[in-house]
């Protein structure tokens, strides 16, 4: 029981340390979390004459969650290589899965102000039901989970934190800019649409638009989207768990 209490305390302390404290000491950095999602919202809304405003709000939420993965990747690389934080924590009762979970939770906490901005826009401009809110939260938590798994896994590969910046850009491009996150998949040419379904964010955005009432998916399509999204999450978390080794060889 003491072990469980210790693990929960470690998890929450890490979330506070890397999530809440930076908000207080570096509030301007919060704008960085919002910069990309709000920029896309602005441009897509303008370019579509306002028709894709709510689609972009839904996409903005997904992109904010994807950004958690890239932030986690950058933070963990920086803390491991430059600050030697990982070495410091290895030689302590902190366990690797608790560290990864705590850091992922901290990134979620740090992104909450961004999600709140999009949630306010959603509540203000579209009808909301408890079911749609519950669906959106579940979808976003899955995106958070697979993005964190991906971010942590990639962080284990880089020898220099500068490499992570390049990869972060590629991840954003591949998971949230190119795939139909800010626009419906039907906007893509028919021969490109199958490629869109290689990205887990396509399924998440599909479900978000459904939750927003912007699309009416069939039960089968909804089940497929959830199934694929959950599968992606399990696989990426599984890979991250395999990579989560405290000790160097």
Partner 1 sequence: MQATPAPARSTSVPGDAAIVARNLSKRYGSARKGVDALSEVNLTIPRDRIYGLIGRNGAGKTTFVRIAGTQLLPTSGSLTVLGHDVLTEASTIRLSIAAVPQESRPLYFLNVDELIFLYLMTRGMERREARRRTDSILEELSLAPVRKRLVSHLSGGMRRRAMVAMVLASDADVIFLDEPTTGLDPFARREVWAAIRRAKREHRTVLLTTHYLDEAEALSDRLALIEAGQVKVEGTPTEIRDRVRLPYRVSVQGGFVRSELEPFGEVSAFDGGFLVFAREKDARELAMAALSRGARVALGPVSLEDIFLQIVGRPLDDGMDAETEA
Site string for partner 1, 2-41 (x = CB under 8 A): ---xxx-xx--xx-xxx--xx--xx---------------
Residue 91 within binding range of partner 1, rule CB under 8 A: yes
Is the separation of the CB atoms in 54 and 45 below 8 Å?
no
Instruction: Report the distance separating Cα 189 and Cα 191, nearest Å.
Output: 6
Is the separation of the CB atoms in 172 and 67 below 8 Å?
yes
Cβ neighbors of 41 (< 8 A, separation 6 or more) are 53, 56, 57, 59, 60, 182
In the complex, the smallest distance separating the C-beta of residue 109 from partner 1, rounded to whole angstroms, is: 14
Residue 191 within binding range of partner 1, rule CB under 8 A: no
Instruction: Report the distance separating Cα 223 and Cα 30, nearest Å.
Output: 35
Site string for partner 1, 63-82 (x = CB under 8 A): ----------------x--x
Instruction: Report the distance separating Cα 47 and Cα 41, nearest Å.
Output: 10
Residue 150 within binding range of partner 1, rule CB under 8 A: no
Mark 180-193 as b/e (b = at least 16 C-beta within 10 Å). Answer: bbbbebeebeeeee
Site string for partner 1, 113-132 (x = CB under 8 A): --------------------
Residue 95 within binding range of partner 1, rule CB under 8 A: yes
In the complex, the smallest distance separating the C-beta of residue 1 from partner 1, rounded to whole angstroms, is: 12
Q: Identify residues 41-60 at the interface with partner 1 (CB under 8 A).
A: none
Binding site for partner 1 (CB under 8 A): 5-7, 9-10, 13-14, 16-18, 21-22, 25-26, 79, 82-85, 87-95, 246-249
């Amino acid at each position: 029981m003491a072990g469980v209490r210790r693990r929960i305390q470690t998890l929450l302390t890490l979330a506070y340390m890397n999530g809440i404290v930076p908000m207080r000491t570096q509030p301007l950095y919060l704008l960085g979390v919002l910069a990309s999602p709000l920029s896309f919202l602005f441009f897509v809304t303008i370019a579509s004459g306002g028709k894709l405003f709510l689609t972009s709000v839904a996409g903005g939420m997904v992109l904010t969650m994807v950004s958690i993965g890239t932030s986690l990747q950058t933070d963990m690389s920086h803390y491991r290589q430059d600050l030697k934080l990982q070495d410091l924590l290895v030689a302590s009762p902190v366990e690797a899965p608790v560290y990864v979970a705590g850091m992922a939770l901290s990134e979620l906490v740090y992104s909450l102000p961004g999600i709140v901005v999009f949630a306010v826009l959603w509540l203000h401009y579209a009808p909301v039901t408890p079911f749609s809110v519950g669906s959106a939260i579940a979808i976003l938590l899955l995106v958070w989970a697979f993005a964190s798994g991906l971010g942590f896994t990639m962080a284990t590969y880089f020898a220099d934190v500068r490499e992570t910046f390049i990869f972060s850009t590629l991840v954003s491009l591949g998971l949230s800019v190119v795939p139909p996150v800010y626009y419906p998949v039907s906007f893509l040419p028919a021969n490109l649409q199958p490629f869109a379904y290689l990205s887990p964010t396509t399924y998440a955005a599909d479900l978000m638009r459904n939750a927003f009432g912007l699309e009416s998916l069939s039960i089968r399509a909804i089940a497929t989207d959830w199934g694929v999204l959950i599968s992606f999450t399990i696989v990426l978390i599984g890979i991250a768990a395999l990579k989560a080794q405290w000790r160097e060889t």
